[in-house]
Every structure is written in C-alpha cells, then in structure tokens.
C-alpha cells in the first residue's frame, strides 16, 4: 500500500538561494510534492541527485505543464515531482518508473529560488512531502530520469542525433519546447520508425486524455498508459535520428526527456514476479 510521509526540512531557504533537502533512504518514492507559496516563475530549478548523478531536472513552470499534459489537476501552493507514472494501467507499470532507494544512497533534492525579494516580499514557505511504498525487489533495477537536452534548429528540417541513448535506456516522453515544431520523424539505423505531425498527435492525445501544452510539441509513445511495453527503446547500431520539422528557423530547441534507465538488467525478471 502506498502512504504519504513528510520529508525533512529544507536548509538554505531564501530568495536567490538554493534550498537543499536530504531524501531519506528505505522507501520507494512514487511522487514528491513541494508545498510552497512560491510562484512557478520563482522556482528556477528543481533537481534530484542520486549518488552524484542528477536524475531529475525541472522548474516551476515545467512541473505544472507536465502534470497538466497528463490531465492531472493542480492545487494552488503545490508542485509535483513525478517519479512514478501514476497514470500507468498496472501497478507494475507504475512501480517500473518509481525511485527505489537503497541503504547508503545519497539523495539530494534542491530547489533554486529566484531572487525576487523586495520590501514587501513574504517569507518563503517550502515543505516536502512524498508518496512512498515498500520495496518489492531485492535491489534497485531501474532509475527514472527527467533531463534536459538542446538541439539546433537553424532550418525548417532539423536533425537531432545526440539523444542520450543505449540498450538500457528507454524514452517515456520527449517535450520539445517550441511552438514552431509541426512534425517529427524518427529513423533508427536507416529505418523509419515514426512519422507524424502536430495535428495527428494532438488528435491522438485527445483520444487518450492527454492535453497538449502551449509552446510545446509532445512525443509520447506511452500515451495509452502501457508504461513498459510501449516505451521507446533507444538502442541502435549506427544511428538514432530525430528529424524535427519547424515552421521557420528558431535557432535552438530545448528538449525535456523523460526516460528510464535499467541499472540491473539481470534482475528484470524479479520485477515482473513481484
């Protein structure tokens, strides 16, 4: 059964500062909630670092947008850091994307706050809460990740070849932060595996109760909520190429990549027995 726990207090809370919280080990983290009086613009950057590796990088506006895309309502004063995909159709699918913690882990949650203090600036309220569950496997098998990359878009057809990829990494979603993107093709080793347009994807999203956000183009292979079987595998032999078509040259496009990384492939059968 999942339960809710209050996290430790943040240190270093202040305008223009980076608030820090150490996440206790032991439970499986499905979601983390920030309770705060800060606006989305004031939350410049939120990160979770697992043993020295940043696995989650977001900001206030993105946290709101990712929740809204999935059709999850927001509550004033709360921001959600999605680890597990709680829209999964099965419990195993949700557990697949949760953050399993182990003894000895060093897990740091940081919130970078904009320097918007003034004479009448209110004191900052910043608390952390989490939805947690017990571990179902002997070890951490998979690590959820939300990271940023950037691609160049200096023409109307732009190739992105630098996605962090490999046989153990699968994409949940990619969010291209531009309202100029109108179509996407994907080639794996010279074979076209995906070819669609903004209009088609907005139609598919609507059928699957997903809600496109202003200023974004969403690539969502798991929009039907099959969080394991419909992940986009990034393994390739020669090349994994994204051809991003835009209305005009836009210079560069930030990309938010939601993915999972298998860190104990030999233990995967254990996950499906749990």
Asked whether residue 71 carries a pLDDT value surpassing 80, the answer given is yes
Domain 3-136 -> CATH class: mainly beta
Residues 6+ apart with CB under 8 A from 41: 60, 61, 114, 116
90 pLDDT tier (thresholds 50, 70, 90): confident
Tokens of 193: 């595996």
What Å distances lie between residue 263 and 30, 66, 98, 140, 266, CA to CA? Answer: 18, 25, 13, 7, 9
Task: Name the DSSP class of 37.
Answer: S
Query: How many residues can be counted in the chain?
Result: 274
At 238, the pLDDT band (50, 70, 90 cuts) reads very high
DSSP SS3 for 2: coil
- What are the residue boundaries of the structural domains of the chain, listed by start? 3-136, 147-265
As given in the structure block, the two tokens for residue 17 are 């500062």
Residue-wise pLDDT tens digits, 185-233: 999 998 999 999 999 999 999 999 999 999 999 999 999 999 999 999 9
**What pLDDT does residue 272 have?**
84
For 132-156, the pLDDT digits (tens) are 999 988 999 999 999 999 999 999 9
Identical fold, 3-136 and 147-265:
yes
Say if strands 126-133 and 3-6 run parallel, antiparallel, or are unpaired.
antiparallel
Q: pLDDT averaged over the chain?
A: 95
User: pLDDT tens across 158-187, in order?
Assistant: 999 999 999 999 999 999 999 999 999 999
pLDDT at 119 over 80: no
Q: How confident is the model at residue 249 (pLDDT cuts 50, 70, 90)?
A: very high
Across the strands, what pairs with 262? 142
If you classify domain 147-265 with CATH, what class do you get? mainly beta
**Given this model, what pLDDT does residue 226 score?**
93
Residue 87 predicted with pLDDT over 80: yes
Q: What is the DSSP string of 66-120?
A: HHHHTT----TTEEEEE-S-TT-SSHHHHHHTSEE--TT--EEEEEEE-----TT
Asked if the model's pLDDT at residue 89 lies above 90, the reply is no
Distance CA 148, CA 138 (A): 30
The predicted structure's pLDDT at residue 274: 62
Give the global pTM. Answer: 0.93
User: Quick check: 1 pLDDT over 80?
Assistant: no
> Does pLDDT of 121 surpass 90?
no
Looking up tokens 């990740």 gives: 145
């Amino acid at each position: 059964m999942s339960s809710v726990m209050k996290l430790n207090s943040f240190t270093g809370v202040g305008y223009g500062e980076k608030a820090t919280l150490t996440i206790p080990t032991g439970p499986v983290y499905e979601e983390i909630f920030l309770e705060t009086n800060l606006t989305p613009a004031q939350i410049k950057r939120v990160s979770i670092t697992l043993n020295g590796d940043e696995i989650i990088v977001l900001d206030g506006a993105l946290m709101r947008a990712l929740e809204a895309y999935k059709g999850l309502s927001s509550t004033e004063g709360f921001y959600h850091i999605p680890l597990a995909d709680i829209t999964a159709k099965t419990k195993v699918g949700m557990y697949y994307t949760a953050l399993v913690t182990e003894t000895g882990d060093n897990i740091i949650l940081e919130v970078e706050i904009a320097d918007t203090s003034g004479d009448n600036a209110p004191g900052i309220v910043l608390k952390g809460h989490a939805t947690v569950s017990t571990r179902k496997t002997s070890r951490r098998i998979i690590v959820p990740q939300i990271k940023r990359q950037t691609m160049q878009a200096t023409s109307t057809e732009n190739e992105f070849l630098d996605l962090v990829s490999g046989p153990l990494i699968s994409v949940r979603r990619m969010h291209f932060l531009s309202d100029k993107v109108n179509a996407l093709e994907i080639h794996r080793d010279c074979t076209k595996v995906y070819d669609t347009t903004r209009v088609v994807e907005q139609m598919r999203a609507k059928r699957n109760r997903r809600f496109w956000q202003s200023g974004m183009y969403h690539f969502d292979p798991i929009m039907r909520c099959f969080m394991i079987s419909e992940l986009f595998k990034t393994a390739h032999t020669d090349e994994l190429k994204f051809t991003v078509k835009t209305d005009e040259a836009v210079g560069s496009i930030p990309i938010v990549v939601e993915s999972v990384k298998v860190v104990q492939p030999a233990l995967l059968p254990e996950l499906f027995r749990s």
